[in-house]
Structure 1
Amino acid sequence: MWLILNIVVVFWMLIGVLCLQVPPSEFWPAGFVAFSLPVPLVLNFLFLIYWALRRSWLLVLPFAGLILGWTYYARLFAINLGQEIPKEAKTLQVLSFNTHIFNAYDGKQRTASGVSEEMVDWIATHPADVFCLQEFYNNRNTGGYNTAKRIGVRHNKEMYFSIGEFGRKYGDIGIAIFSKHPIIDKGAIHFTKKESINRGVWADIVLEGDTIRIYAVHLQSMSIRAADIENTYSAIGNEESFKKESRNLARRLKRGFIARAVQVEQLLEHVRKSPYPVIVCGDFNDIPFSYTYNQLAAELQNSFVQAGNGIGSTYNGILPFLRIDNQFHSEGLKAYNYETHYEMGLSDHFPISATYVLEPKPEEER
């Protein structure tokens, strides 16, 4: 019986890996199968321990699954100890943070009174060279909540703010990039014709004579509220209610899978044309076991995998262990000191940061 279950788990794992390659925009059920991949990965590891404790030759089966799926295990848990940044290297520290509009919305009432000054000040005084801020909120008409001024102007940082939603009375919302190094070019990637905070923003930053392109990205939200999760749990035992709540969750997930599959292709199309090394960071609203993440990881290196430790969860909400915020980088750069800042818990996301070393070009090594 245990052998059969182990075979089922390995088969499940293989199907999940295959579904990572399938665009949910073309076959949406693949998104759900890929989403479930952490379950067989964990179960396979438990089977490895089980067969090892029984000293059974059957541990060959989960061990083979472990070897074949090692890349995906690395997405679950990272170990990178003792990394040291080379002396005299050109470095760039990047902070990425979904600020949740600095908590400026009080329920359905748009008001600046709830803006967290502590969050604004934490960002403004962070030592990073570049800030990539999603769901950035700025109210130019209220001095205390003019976050662009408090983060950028006061600390001598250049800024590019791409506005997705705006209002003269309530302020602007979008994605902002702040840099202590010169910004020589910038632009936005609009995923739809309709104005939205879901977009990509890029800026070319000069670092000691070299240029790096930074992308700040906010992909389609999962649109799952804490109340949706709670309602589904509370409906267990009531078949009709449970079906209703489960279908509601499934519809929301399906829409997100499809939208992000299209958006990541638009993003990568732009990234491929970059004449400079790139850093792509932001709120991707997808876990590492998704088509979105898989497409990015196929062309770029993930900074958490390269330089992080532990699970690295970034979602500060009812669902634990979700890493939906990421930083990726291209060749020519190497990541060090990746960190999730759990000390800043005022948003529904935790900030993440990493330091990048610009690797010398072949002619510079001579």
Structure 2
Amino acid sequence: MAGTFKNIRRRVWLILNTLVVLWMLVGVLCLQVPPSTFWPAGFVAFSLPGALVLNFLFLLYWVLRRSWLLVLPLSAFMLAWSYYARLVTINFGEEVPEGAKTLQVMSYNVHVFNAYDKIVEGVPQVSTDMIDWVAEHPADVFCLQEFYSRVNSLEYNNFNRIGTRYGKYKYVSTLETDKVKANLGVVIFSKYPILIGGTIHFNNSYRQSANRAAWADINVKGDTVRVYAVHLQSMSIKSEDIENTYSAIGDEASFKKESRNLARRLRSGFISRAAQVQQLLEHVQASPYPVIVCGDFNDIPFSYTYNELAKALQNAHEKAGNGVGATYNGPLPFLRIDNQFYSQGLEAYNFQTHYEMGLSDHFPISATYVLQPKATE
């Protein structure tokens, strides 16, 4: 009887493990599918971390059982290794080569420096602390999304407080907003000269949207690097939306309403960002210089958006960071939606997520890039 029960249990666990592996395979396939073609693929890809974690737990289970059935989750683990690296990264902190030409880049969604956030106690002081932290950071290039500046404001004249005061060059891609004529959008500051810059207005119909990409060609001690500061379509999900969905559990009608609302917003975001990333990549691939593409992508590593970028470029967190690298400072944990990607001709070192600066709904990220010598040098 005990042997029969053991065989049944093993068969059940094997079936469950097989289903998880199939889930993984379907999830990986869905990463390749544009959400505009088949939007449910976005949700399946979004669930892929769950399959990766469960497969790893099955691997541990079969190892502890000393069963040859560990071959199934182990094979899946090895085949999906690059996706596990997106989930949790382990690097050993290589040192920057001595004498190398370097460029340190910081990217940060500054949440308009909390200028509109009246619920934050002591908003002017919170804003000042954040602005000063950015202005005094030792990075060479700053890519700031949801940037906010008002010329006639002591607290929020950020073109001056971050740029002019410290002798930085800048490329500005903002729209004028609110009654006090503030500037809102994306800005690139640089300690090195900016040769030329431009803006990608996604789909040409969003010229009055803060979602855009700015680019600047920067002269780094005689070499030119093109840097992009990107802000893709927001998820448009607020903390109260998530709280309302949780609180509706148990009330079938209310839960259906709230969950459908979340699903609609996610679907809309998947489709918008998929189109935006293709427009961005067309511009990136036409660059005559090595590129660094960084910003708030509003998509996790298990999305069509991220996957398309990862096909063309390397991710700085995966190459030079550690851990989960969560960048969203909000009610949903473990979300890495801010990233830095880079092309050949560069190598990433010392990637950091700056958890010490928690005054925005995003954490800043920075990396040091080594400019590789040209073949003729």
**TM-score, normalised relative to structure 1:** 0.97
**Distance in 2 (alpha carbons) for counterparts of 1:240 and 1:284:** 33
Deviations 1:86-140 (A, max 9, x none): 11111000000000000000359xxx95861000000000000000000000000
- Which residue matches 2:22? 11
- Which residue matches 2:238? 225
Deviations 1:247-297 (A, max 9, x none): 000000000000000000000000011000000000000000000000000
User: How does 1:19-98 map onto structure 2 within 5 Å?
Assistant: 19-98=30-109
Following superposition, the deviation at residue 160 of structure 1 comes to: 1.1
> Contact (CA 8 Å) 2:93, 2:349: kept in 1 or not?
no
Unmatched segments (≥5 aa) in structure 2: 1-11
- Which residue matches 1:236? 249
* SS at 1:295 equivalent: helix
**Distance in 2 (alpha carbons) for counterparts of 1:116 and 1:107:** 12
Matching of residue 128 in structure 1 with residue 155 in structure 2: no
Following superposition, the deviation at residue 356 of structure 1 comes to: 0.2
**Distance in 1 (alpha carbons) for counterparts of 2:253 and 2:147:** 40
Find the partner of 2:306 among 293, 306, 321.
293
> Contact (CA 8 Å) 2:110, 2:147: kept in 1 or not?
yes
RMSD: 1.2
How many residue pairs get matched? 361
User: How does 1:169-208 map onto structure 2 within 5 Å?
Assistant: 169-191=180-202, 192-194=204-206, 195-208=208-221
* SS at 1:196 equivalent: coil
**Distance in 1 (alpha carbons) for counterparts of 2:179 and 2:173:** 16
Q: Point out the more displaced range, 113-122 or 275-284.
A: 113-122
- Sequence identity percentage: 69
Matching of residue 264 in structure 1 with residue 288 in structure 2: no
**Distance in 2 (alpha carbons) for counterparts of 1:248 and 1:128:** 40
Computing the radius of gyration from Cα coordinates, the structure with the larger value is 2
Runs of 4+ displaced beyond 2 Å: 112-115, 164-168
**Distance in 1 (alpha carbons) for counterparts of 2:112 and 2:30:** 34
> 1:140 is aligned with what amino acid?
V
* SS at 2:361 equivalent: coil
**Distance in 1 (alpha carbons) for counterparts of 2:59 and 2:301:** 23
* SS at 1:144 equivalent: coil
Going from structure 1 to structure 2, the CA distance change for 1:26 and 1:107 (only over 3 Å counts) comes to farther
Deviations 1:140-193 (A, max 9, x none): 011332011000011110011111343451511000000000000000000032
**Distance in 1 (alpha carbons) for counterparts of 2:124 and 2:319:** 40
> Contact (CA 8 Å) 1:104, 1:115: kept in 2 or not?
no
**Distance in 2 (alpha carbons) for counterparts of 1:252 and 1:345:** 26
Deviations 1:190-224 (A, max 9, x none): 00323110000000000111000000000000001
Unmatched segments (≥5 aa) in structure 1: none
Find the partner of 1:342 among 355, 362, 366.
355
